[in-house]
Amino acid sequence: MAFENLTSRFQMALRRLTGKARLSESDIDEMMKEVRLSLLEADVNYKVVKEFTDEVKQQAYGEKILKGLNPGQQVVKIVNDELVKLMGSETVELKFNPNGMTVMLMVGLQGAGKTTTAGKLANFIRKNYNKKPLLIAADIYRPAAIEQLQTVGKQLDIPVFEKGKIKPATIVTEGLDYARTNGFDLVIIDTAGRLHIDVDMMEEIKNIETISHPHEVLLTVDAMTGQDAVNVAKTFHEALKLTGCILTKLDGDTRGGAALSIRKITNVPIKFSGTGEKLTEIEVFHPERMASRILGMGDIMSLVEKATAEIDEDEALSMMEKMMSGKFNYNDLLKQMKMIKRMGKFSGLLKMLPGMSAMGDLDQVDDRQLIFIEAIINSMTDEEKKNPDLIERSSSRRNRIANGSGRSTTEVGRLISTLDKQKKMMQRFQNMNPDNIQNMAQGGGFQPKESRAMRRAKKKGGR
């Protein structure tokens, strides 16, 4: 995952300060030396690193910090605030045409994930802004680029306009006419990328921009390219006046320097980030949430949003009631696992929880474990799924289930233990005082809107 090493180095550096009652300038100097090295290793632009560290030091040297209460925590807050500022301070929304069709132009180098991102973006906007999208295939150079966009469109049930390998300008002109005639209110144009920036490429994209009059010109940048991503962004911005960037492959083994450099150097806001291979795995880029992730503080708000988007509240309420009734079984556990899978990679979800980044390499958490658990449950009889005690009391049943699923009896035993722990945890939750339940919810540092599930849980806890 992006920032993995940066997060651990930042945490090590800041941990030296957080336990101290008083700080000296030498304490801060030592911490900032580690922070500077961490940022450079993450491939953050040198000028950006220098400005960032100078700003943090200037604020941290103040008398309020050096002689105040909890000086370490105050320094952490300064670092967090400067990281947010570095990435743009505020979330920058997409611009839509209020009086008709919105046109978005996707640009970037070949291999950055532009075609897939065009589909992801169209799907995201359709879902969150209730738009009717059309994708235009204007990349006539890369082999199978048109077919790839058609495949993406088919998977998402989004129409794709293509005219084969004629001039891109003609494709775009006819595509826009088709969109207006057929009632589409969002058009996303997938343009050709190159392995490097060249004059012909820029002239072609400028021509398409002139024809389409886009409301958004979005550069797709591979986060793994590091500082080169900044140079690419500068060149495209000079030619096209970009309105935003989309960082892809932030879930990969990348140092993440592009996210910390692009906004500062080009003043082009990062609007989205690609967080996985699935066509639903794209997120609005929130500078304050990304800063929190980098410092290992988690990202509770994004986790809540994922859950809200992917899990129906009635479904969640039904699951909670079943768990608290003491009759939670393997059928229910299987439903629960499928709910989790809809939210994305399990390792990614764990990283959104405060403090989890300190638990080691979460990328080693294997999502295939969920598949293995499904295989074990599917090897049970209907009666065993409904009545977990049957398996717990019988070694012959456990052996049969292990053989049927191709897993070990140890894994079957681990699954039995998991179900048992969930039951016990929910029993403790049921017996808690309602005020304690509310305090638990607020322990993550945010005030959640009280859902029906929470109200029902509090009523049960108050009995």
What domains lie within the chain, and their CATH numbers?
Answer: 4-86 (1.20.120.140), 102-297 (3.40.50.300), 310-461 (1.10.260.30)
CA-CA-CA-CA dihedral for 12, 79, 303, 446, to nearest 10: 110
How far is CA 49 from each of CA 8, 54, 222, 371, 378, rounded to the nearest angstrom? 18, 8, 21, 43, 53
One-letter amino acid of 153: G
Q: Which residue has the higher pLDDT, 201 or 352?
A: 201
Write down the pLDDT at residue 191.
93
Query: 428: buried, middle or exposed (CB in 10 Å: 19+, 13-18, 0-12)?
Result: exposed
> Among residues of the chain, what percentage have pLDDT more than 90?
32
CA-based radius of gyration for the chain: 26
Q: Is the pLDDT confidence value at 463 over 50?
A: no
Q: Which residue has the higher pLDDT, 366 or 241?
A: 241
What is d(CA 118, CA 98) in angstroms, rounded to the nearest whole number?
21
Give the mean model confidence (pLDDT) for residues 142-154: 93
Q: Is the pLDDT confidence value at 20 over 80?
A: no
Q: Give pTM, 2 decimals.
A: 0.67
| Of 296-310, 311-325, 368-382, highest mean pLDDT | 368-382
